[in-house]
Amino acid sequence: MILVVGATGSLGGRVCRGLLERGEEVGILVREGSDYGALVDAGARPIVGDLKDPASLRRACDDARTVVTTANSAGRGGEDTTETVDLRGNAALVDAARTAGVAHFVFVSVLGATEDSPAEFVRAKALTERRIRESGMAYTIIQPNFFMDVWVPMLVGLPLQQGRPVLLVGRGDHRHSFVASADVASLAIACVGEAAASGRTLALCGPEALTWTEVVAEASRILGTTIEVEYVAPGTPLPGLPPVVTALAAALETYETVLDTSEVAREFGVERTHLRDFLRAMLTPAPTEKQ
**pLDDT tens for residues 106-116?**
999 999 899 98
Main-chain phi, psi angles of 36, to 5 degrees: -130, 10
Identify the pLDDT of residue 77. Answer: 67
Q: Sheet containing 104-108: which strands, arranged edge to edge?
A: 45-48, 26-30, 2-5, 66-69, 104-108, 138-144, 200-204
DSSP 175: -
What contacts 98, CB < 8 A, 6 or more positions away?
135, 136, 137
Identify the pLDDT of residue 288. Answer: 53
Which of 226, 212, 214 is CA-nearest to residue 167? 212
Give the C-alpha separation, 204 to 177, whole Å.
9
Identify the pLDDT of residue 146. Answer: 93
pLDDT digits (tens, 9 = 90+) for 237-261: 999 998 888 988 998 898 899 999 9
Residues in the chain: 291
Q: What is the mean pLDDT of residues 137-143?
A: 98
DSSP 196: G
- Could you give all domains of the chain from N- to C-terminal order, each with its CATH number? 2-147+180-205+259-272 (3.40.50.720)
